[in-house]
Structure 1
């Protein structure tokens, strides 16, 4: 019998925690994953800082119709617009970070994945991942991230409650995309096609979401993305192996 959704969600978060535990067992391999994560993280952080600096001007350009409104209503609308823009940007940055880090650091993260597979026991499957496949995966993930960013931004425009709802939507959508992308290596290496991977994720929706949301929350902590990225690769390997074993 499957776990209750809340318990399964927590098990997914625990998979990420166990990924962090891999630092104590294979610190050398895990440290390799810091290099691409740091490079990509610095570039995207610079973009996010620039957005924050120009956010007031962007909001004014998006809401010229509010110039003639009473100050209270104009302020509410502009705060909602600013929250929506920033929330959408954070979604896109989180997804882009994962996509670009996996692409730039393909050899490093492949070593982490293989080490995690070996640590879990059993033969390590052959992976067909390579640079150009990583490029294709990155483009696809960023495209889906754009859609998620638009959805989160639109939800964020809802007056009064938009900030909270937009944030929850952003974290949930981003978490789902991250779990999808991070587990795809371990699943596809076993010959599991995209349609079957989607079916597997739907069957274990809460666990995948718990893993992805926990990963996304780590990414929101300053420098958290750099440290969490190797752990996310190791943890996603454990997640994939666990759900596959449940179907054997």
Structure 2
């Protein structure tokens, strides 16, 4: 968790870069908020369209079913917002966050060299990696979403598991820039994070909880990118200590 606070401290000391990092997060947030607003105001209509088999039911049963389906649809939209916001923001803001991450690393010394990719190659690879990661996220979160309706388990175990899963994959996304700078491909990045589960979960779960607060995801995104760069440099991909002869 301390790495996020180091990132927060860095952007507090460099407000120009914090504002720079707000731009893509704000644009994506506005688009997502508009989508959720549309979904919230049209959830019942979508539920009507999705349940034509209930047209012949009694009014009370039909209304109850479609209200429940509308609630599930809106809840699924909120879950999708949370689990995809970081990935989409990083894709949209790739040039922004690449520069921000580099500036953070320069604070601690020289940048790793020898693994640079031109923008026309890095963006498609970033999109591909984000889609693969999103696939893993949905593989876990979709079953957890439906398990959330199970009494007792859905209100105790499922939220904890959901936070752990979402937190881990948030760390996957946020550390990608700094790890790619060191030539680590997607499989290698996953291996590094699996070998550092405590750091990955501590960093990611804190961010997952922060991102649940409206607008906090926008404000905290630059600090999250900065903190991820510090964590990769100082912990995840730190050079092994040299033994004295």
TM-score by length of 2: 0.78
The aligned residue for residue 19 of structure 2 is 31
Give 1:121-200 correspondences, 5 Å limit: 121-125=109-113, 126-128=115-117, 130-200=122-192
User: 1:87–1:167: structure 2 CA closer, same or farther, 3 Å change rule?
Assistant: farther
Distance 2:162 2:116 in 1: 31
Against the structure 1 CA distance between its residues 113 and 245, is the aligned structure 2 distance closer, same or farther, given a 3 Å change threshold? same
Q: Which runs of 5+ in 1 are unaligned?
A: 1-12
Tell me which residue corresponds to 2:216: 224
2:84 aligned partner: 96
Q: Which residue does the alignment assign to 2:238?
A: 245
Greater Rg, structure 1 or structure 2?
2
Contact 1:103 1:135 in 2 (8 A): yes
- Which whole-Å deviations, capped at 9, do the CAs of 1:72-129 have from their partners, x for residues lacking one? xxx8xx87x7876555433321232112211111111111110111112233435426
Cα distance in 2 between the residues matched to 1:55 and 1:133: 35
Q: Superposed, which structure 2 residues align to 1:97-116 within 5 Å?
A: 97-116=85-104
Inter-partner Cα distance in structure 1 for 2:45 and 2:160: 26
How much does 1:174 deviate? Answer: 1.3
Q: Deviations over 1:192-212 (max 9, x none)?
A: 233332222112101101111
How many Å apart are 1:213 and its aligned residue?
Answer: 0.9
1:202 aligned residue: 194
Contact 1:84 1:154 in 2 (8 A): no
> Normalized against structure 1, the TM-score is what?
0.78
Distance 1:82 1:127, change over 3 A: farther
Q: Residues 120 and 82 of structure 1: is their aligned pair in 2 closer, same or farther, counting only changes over 3 Å?
A: farther
Unaligned runs of 5+ in 2: none
Q: In structure 2, what is the Cα distance between the partners aligned to 1:173 and 1:91?
A: 13
